[in-house]
Chain A
Amino acid sequence: MLEGYPTLTSVTALLDEYLKSKHGLFFGDKTEHPFSALKPYKDIHDPIWGTNGFSWRELALIDTPIMQRLRRIHQTGLAYHVYPSSRHSRFEHSLGVAIVATKVFDAVVRRHAGKLRTLVEIVEDTKEFERTLFRWRQELRLAALLHDTGHSLLSHTSERVYGKLPMLQAAADELTDLAAAEKKAGEVISFCLSRTDAVHALLKRAESKLMKECEMPDEFAGEPDMVSVSLLIVGRARHPLLQFLGDIVSSGFDADKLDYLLRDAAAAGLPLRYDLERYLATVHLPESKLNDGKGKLDKLYKSTGTKHVERQPKGDGRFPYFRSYRLKLPKRSMNTIEQVTICKLMLYSYIYHHPKVRAAEGFFERLLARAVKNWRDAGKTDAQISALFIDFDDASLHGPEFLGSGDPETSQLSYRLLNRLVPRVVYEIVSSPSGVEAKLLGDFFSKLGDPGTKAGILEKVEDVMGQELFKRRNELGSDPRLACLRAGAWFDVPSLPTFEGMDELIGETDGKTPVRIGDIFPINKWTEAYHAHRYAVRVYAFSEYCPDVAMAARKGLEEVTSIRDPEFYHRIRRNRT
């Protein structure tokens, strides 16, 4: 029960019901799964992190459909259209995050045992130091394993569509309130799944099936706190003093990022590396203030019944706060921070913003939006559509909802996507405008970056483009949106890579003055160069419609940019001939 968060409570109840009915063999009221005795641990080999042990509790969870489905979801969506070897899955990434989170946790324990001993006494009211640390470690690993269970087919691409379902949108807003940090629909599902009775009951049953004769030396034998696990998934901890645990799972420099950067690069065959050992050798836990000006964190800690926690008055600061310990890196781990930053920029450049990857993902997003509209028209509720997304994996594209759909558009577009007949670039506008139209383009870009006007601009371009397309190719139909969909035409505006939280990462150590990342590493220079030379907005279309879309899109762009000079459109046109 989550007091004060009604939407999250109802989503958790829906997921609980879903798990019990859809996967009764694993989560039903009468199931005995896991059916055979569990080994205390198993070794799993990972191409990035080598051989690592996973406990019986983790294995019980790994061997369920909520984790196994992740094997069939590509970590980098449709990037394999460009990098054929980018076939790695959310499953191996989740194992990797658990491994990295453990490395960071163990490094913190090695370097700050005294501080942690004090925290155990204050937070848990116990002198059982090792046992408590093993529990925290176990909760951290469970959170890492479960953190991506909310993903659906083709990872983030589908999240942009199911995230618009009103039920999940409301839940994401509530989770944002709960965590006092921006959260999305995928995190809602991961958070709520971890809180279901079904998952809790599975872990209880697993304990009774454990082969007791040999135990891992650092295994936690008691019961993990699944409330803590769920909070760690969204980057919070049950107690403000333990915020560093939330930072390990979700923050500017978390285990998630540390794993995906190396894994995505390695899978694509890109020789990018960073020095994790340096990170582990330098990570520290300075005392910090957890500012809470609006009382959101206060509400959270009260809702979870956290003891021994006191919101401090603002004093000479601006806001009331909680005393906390945060994960920080000192100046001497600068080389790792530089490497991670560069890795991230390169991955955006090579993979995530690759024009063909954007083409495939943008096309798929439109196909998915069409499918959702069809389900809505057929009377499906938000809860039913959400359940579909929780079921889907990348193989679903071959199934009855897509390739086998009764809607000819959905079926034909799925066929094109599966056979890589994806759109091509028609126009490309770089983000550093120069020349006579610089002022108009500057103003245009300022509107594209504005969350209040971006959607309207995209709609305008597509409306005008669709109407023009109908005039030129009336077989595409008179509905502008449908005409664009059939021609594979849209105006693509990618999000910029962000480095939020990186400045907060550099912390004071041993009384030294804190430094900011921007003061010692030219992160702004790098991002500026990236944006100037590698970032672009584009118009796409299927090859057979490129000439018509070029004419139609020009009309749309003229409307939103006020640029009418033919020379400009000649310059931004991408043409193979």
Chain B
Amino acid sequence: MEAAEMTLGEFVKYLAALLTENNTPMLFKEEAPWHFVLFRLSEENCEGKPHFLNDLKFDWGGPFPKCKELSRYLQFLHSTACVGTMNPSYEEMVLKDDLEKLWFSEFKKIGDPQQKFMGHAADLATKEFSLVA
């Protein structure tokens, strides 16, 4: 897959699959770290960076730079049962087993530079999520 072809949804799915594979808890209620990760990646200029990251828009003025498209997508994954949440606290979300396998196998098919980039994104997310946890 070319860098230009990866979409926001694919990025989130690969990241979720990678984090699940690494046993990193994914935050749900506290959305800010997701946005920090996306914002930081959008500012970086490294190999394998998907083009969509250059076009993302962030709202300013709130406590964190907020990408509404990301918020809506995370909500959509939850509401369509792709991810479950830890009731009743909603602190973390958990990817469904079969989807994790599917998305991880799709991740394995993307090019090396993109896989490296996603690895970097997963490291960043692990760090950001741990600040809250």
Contact = CB atoms under 8 A, between A and B. Distances in A.
B79 A452 contact: no
A531 B79 contact: yes
B96 A504 contact: no
B9 A452 contact: yes
B75 A450 contact: no
A291 B80 contact: no
Interface string A470-495: 00000000000000000000000001
A325 to B, nearest CB: 12
Given A445-B80, A524-B85, A452 B75 contact: no
Contact of B39 (A181, A293, A296, A495): A293
A291 B60 contact: yes
Interface in A415-439: 431-433, 438-439
Interface in B23-49: 28-29, 36, 39
Interface residues of B, number: 42
A529 to B, nearest CB: 10
Contacts of A516: 29
A524 B61 contact: no
A525 B87 CA distance: 9
B89 to A, nearest CB: 9
B113 interface: no
A243 B103 CA distance: 43
Nearest to A444: B80
A496 B52 contact: no
B60 A297 contact: yes
Contacts of A404: none
A456 to B, nearest CB: 10
B65 A496 contact: no
Interface string B78-95: 111110010110100000
A528 interface: yes
A504 B79 contact: no
Contacts of A297: 60-61
B47 to A, nearest CB: 21
Given A449-B80, A496-B72, A527-B79, A181 B59 contact: yes
Nearest to A446: B82
A535 B78 CA distance: 13
Contacts of B8: 450-452
A290 B58 CA distance: 14
B79 A535 contact: yes
B61 A446 contact: no
Interface in A276-321: 289-294, 296-297, 318-319
A291 B64 contact: yes
B39 to A, nearest CB: 7
Interface string B50-62: 0010000111111
A433 B73 CA distance: 18
B118 to A, nearest CB: 16
Given A443-B102, A496-B75, A181 B61 contact: yes
B94 to A, nearest CB: 13
Contacts of B103: 443
Interface string A168-201: 0000000010001110000000000000000000
B78 to A, nearest CB: 7
Contact of A442 (B10, B57, B82, B90): B82
A522 interface: yes
A318 B87 CA distance: 31
Contact of B81 (A243, A290, A433, A448): A433
Given A431-B79, A439-B98, A296 B60 contact: yes
Given A182-B59, A291-B61, A452 B52 contact: yes
A449 B72 contact: yes
Contact of A446 (B60, B63, B77): B77
B13 to A, nearest CB: 6
A293 B65 contact: yes
Contacts of A446: 9, 13, 76-77, 80, 82, 99
A575 interface: no
Given A294-B60, A446-B82, A453-B9, A500 B77 contact: no
A309 to B, nearest CB: 14
Contact of A531 (B57, B80, B96): B80
A384 interface: no
A447 interface: yes
Q: Which 3 pairs between the two chains have the least Cβ-Cβ distance? A: A450-B9, A452-B7, A449-B76
24 contacts: A176-B57, A182-B57, A182-B59, A290-B61, A292-B61, A293-B58, A293-B65, A294-B60, A318-B36, A439-B98, A443-B82, A446-B13, A446-B76, A446-B77, A446-B99, A449-B9, A450-B7, A451-B7, A451-B9, A452-B7, A501-B62, A525-B90, A528-B78, A535-B79
Interface of A: 176, 180-182, 243, 289-294, 296-297, 318-319, 324, 431-433, 438-439, 442-443, 445-453, 495-496, 498, 500-501, 504, 516, 518, 522, 524-525, 527-528, 531-532, 535
Given A448-B76, A518-B29, A531-B80, 18 more contacts: A176-B57, A290-B60, A290-B61, A291-B60, A318-B64, A319-B65, A439-B99, A442-B96, A443-B103, A446-B13, A446-B77, A452-B52, A498-B72, A498-B75, A525-B88, A531-B78, A531-B79, A535-B79
